Amino acid sequence: MVPILRSLLFVPGNVPKMLDKAMGCRPDAYLPDMEDSVPEAEKPNARCVIGAYVARLSTTGPLVIPRVNALDTGLTADDLEAVVGPEIDGVSVGKVHTADDVREITDLIGRLEQAAGVEVGRIGLIPWVESAKGVVHCYAVCTASPRIIGVAFGAEDYTHDMGIERLGDETDSEVAFARNTVCVAARAAGVPALDTPYFKFKDNAGLQRNALASKRCGFKGKFAIHPAQIRIINRVFSPSVEEIEQARRVVAAFEAAERTGRGSTSLDGQVVDVPVVKRARNILALAESMPESAAD
Ligand code: COA
Ligand code: MG
């Protein structure tokens, strides 16, 4: 079953103080990071620290999905070896460009699962699509393995790869095409698309608008880089009280029309027909499936 992943909190893996702090937060997933929040010289330390923390993180509720270094660093296998085991729910891997990259990663995970006595295939995978090549191959990446529980779009590396300026404002206009492409490819593959973090971590109003735009584009969740972002992201990616109420009214209006032999009706001056009621029912199903903290 694809888990609910609205908020995914990055924690630099070489900072035990932040890992301790994270355990008091309630994201849907922790991403203790070995990749770009960790300086080169600290990589071996981050690997050790995260290896030692995953057992404790796994007892607190949120999913544990460490992020490891990309295949071209030569660090991926050792990073995975430090964390693959019964305590983690998945791994996230930076800079995945093709389906072959996914297959190489899943083979590594599979061998480590076997060695750790974990059922092969149990550990999920969230690849980062954050290059022109990754965007072009996104559907192939998303369908390359049944392990994939989400696909992440990374705007910082994507703009670097494209040689364009990262504006970093709340509109994310410079990455609009890539964001839309990733969302459509992810949807076609049946996996949730997860959006790049909003780096202005003190700008809560900007984050709220940025996350809402992500949701409207088709993302199902967003990475957080600071604990204060979790609550806002969770709220945006959960159906609101108003959305739920409106969905109930739409379903009620449609069912009343059906009883009189009609396949469409109107509500507040707008047409309610089959796709409209399907969307409303989806909102109600999503609301049902949310954790109790949905409105937090
Ligand atoms: N996870 C856990 N705890 C975090 C945290 C995180 N991502 N970000 C901040 N905190 C903690 C701080 O350690 C501090 O704890 P304290 O009150 O016990 O001292 C508290 O939250 C408040 O932090 P604040 O002072 O507002 O921010 P900061 O200056 O300490 O940290 C950043 C700001 C941006 C450096 C930090 O949030 C960070 O490193 N984030 C992760 C960046 C990252 O993962 N980048 C890669 C993503 S692609
Ligand atoms: Mg990146």
Q: In whole angstroms, how far apart are CA 221 and each of 2, 3, 244? A: 13, 11, 19
Give the pLDDT score at 3. Answer: 87
Give the pLDDT score at 296. Answer: 47
Architecture of domain 7-236: Alpha-Beta Barrel (3.20)
Q: Where are the domains of the chain?
A: 7-236, 241-295
Mutate to test the pocket of ligand 1, among 21, 56, 166 (most ligand atoms within 8 A of CB): 21
pTM above 0.85, yes or no: yes
Task: Identify the burial level of 77 via C-beta atoms within 10 angstroms of its C-beta, where 0-12 means exposed, 13-18 middle and 19 or more buried.
Answer: middle
Ligand 1 nearest atom to the CA of residue 12, by list position = 44
Q: What is the mean pLDDT of residues 43-55?
A: 98
CA atoms of 254 and 260, how far apart (whole Å): 10
Ligand 1 nearest atom to the CA of residue 156, by list position = 48
Percentage above 70 pLDDT, the chain: 98
pLDDT of 2 over the 90 cut:
no
The amino acid that residue 158 corresponds to is Y
pLDDT of 294 over the 50 cut:
no
For ligand 1, say whether the CB of 200 is within 6 Å of any of its atoms.
Answer: no
Ligand 1 nearest atom to the CA of residue 10, by list position = 44
Give the pLDDT score at 292. Answer: 61
Give the pLDDT score at 295. Answer: 46
**Residue 57 parent element (H or E):** helix 43-57
Q: For ligand 1, atom 25, which residue shows the shortest CA distance?
A: 226
Q: What is the mean pLDDT of residues 229-238?
A: 97
For ligand 1, say whether the CB of 10 is within 6 Å of any of its atoms.
Answer: yes
Q: 94 CA distance to ligand 2 centroid (A)?
A: 6
Q: In whole angstroms, how far apart are CA 296 and each of 18, 154, 195? A: 22, 26, 20
Are the C-beta atoms of 13 and 47 separated by less than 8 Å? Answer: yes
Q: 12 CA distance to ligand 2 centroid (A)?
A: 13
Task: Identify the burial level of 206 via C-beta atoms within 10 angstroms of its C-beta, where 0-12 means exposed, 13-18 middle and 19 or more buried.
Answer: middle
Query: Residue 70 in 3-state DSSP?
Result: coil
Strands 124-129 and 151-153: parallel
